[in-house]
Amino acid sequence: MTATVLDGRATAAAIKAELAERVAKLKAQGVTPGIATVLVGADPASQLYVGMKHKQSEEIGMNSIQVELPADATQADVEAEIDRLNADETCHGYIVQLPLPRHLDTDRILERIDPAKDADGLHPTNLGKLVLNVNDEIISPLPCTPRAVIELLERNGYALAGTHVVVVGRGVTIGRSIGLLLTRRDVNATVTLTHTGTRDLPAYLRQADVIVGAAGMKHLVRPEDVKPGAAVLDVGVTREIDPETGKSKVYGDIAPGVEEVAGWLSPNPGGVGPMTVALLMTNVVEAAERTIRA
């Protein structure tokens, strides 16, 4: 068996084409969706990631707002920019690029974001709304990466209803938040949350219809841990220096050879990553649409 590849780049392109049409309709009504980023310092990886977000948002007609602060910016400096974006009617959603310099209180800064403009969907208020809402329509921003996992599967014909999803990783970005979406009645999956401290992790993995590897541990999920035909999504990232080239190399949580056992495989890179950016833009477009309906 060779797994069917869940192509995140192609699926993200389809989402962005849909978003371009929605942006055009909003512009016709006098609203241009505005997406902003707050970048503190000059970390090259963060600069690259932020630049990619703005490039893609501009391609679909969104207004791109970039806030850049020096690495020695104070807590008050950053909070002042947060307050400015919260009050800016041309900004419908934004992110604070992480990690922030160590002298800053990251939690305090993230909690200062207006929940309605939370492009990542990880503000405590929005996660709390998900905890309380199992059945009704969601009218708040959703966690981007968990939403990306679900969209990638469903848009490629995979039905999640009734499946057993085993998530590896307990971070807020995906591990702790994805179960809130997967267990809603409109998705209707069963979720087991595991992590690097789980005793006999392979025993849980072998029961899974779907595995989401998000622990950030190189090749944690091995071929012998995967039930034949399962859907496997590689989300975790580990960076190591290649001794031969001296350059940083990215590894996922899923080991080579899993593609010979799994029925579906989301690779890393090229899987959930591009989808996350597309869903971040979706959150902002949806926020702009809500201003029309308000």
The answer to whether 169 is a known ligand-binding residue is yes
Locate 118 and state its tokens: 């939370």
Of 243, 196, 194, 242, the residue nearest 216 (C-alpha): 196
Per residue in 249-283, is it b (16+ CB within 10 Å) or e — as a string? eebbbbbeebbebbbbbbbbebbbbbbbbbbbbbb
Whole-angstrom distance, CA of residue 120 vs CA of residue 141: 7
Cα-Cα-Cα-Cα dihedral of 243, 248, 250, 255, to 10°? 10
Strand partners, 251: 238
Of 116, 50, 38, 118, the residue nearest 77 (C-alpha): 38
Q: Which of 16, 56, 97, 209 is catalytic?
A: 97
Q: Which of 53, 225, 227, 234 is catalytic?
A: 53
Per residue in 32-47, is it b (16+ CB within 10 Å) or e — as a string? ebbbbbbbbbebeebe
Order of strands across the sheet that contains 210-213: 4-5, 264-266, 231-234, 210-213, 164-168, 190-194
Q: Which of 56, 117, 118, 120 is catalytic?
A: 120
Of 254, 288, 247, 189, the residue nearest 44 (C-alpha): 247
Give the length of the chain.
Answer: 294
The answer to whether 170 is a known ligand-binding residue is yes
97 is catalytic: yes
Phi, psi of 189, rounded to the nearest 5 degrees: -95, 165
The answer to whether 237 is a known ligand-binding residue is yes
Whole-angstrom distance, CA of residue 292 vs CA of residue 30: 9
Q: Where do we find the tokens 């400096």? A: 77
120 is catalytic: yes
Whole-angstrom distance, CA of residue 33 vs CA of residue 114: 16
Annotated binding-site ranges for NADP(+): 169-171, 237
Active site residues: 53, 97, 120
Annotated binding site: 169-171, 237
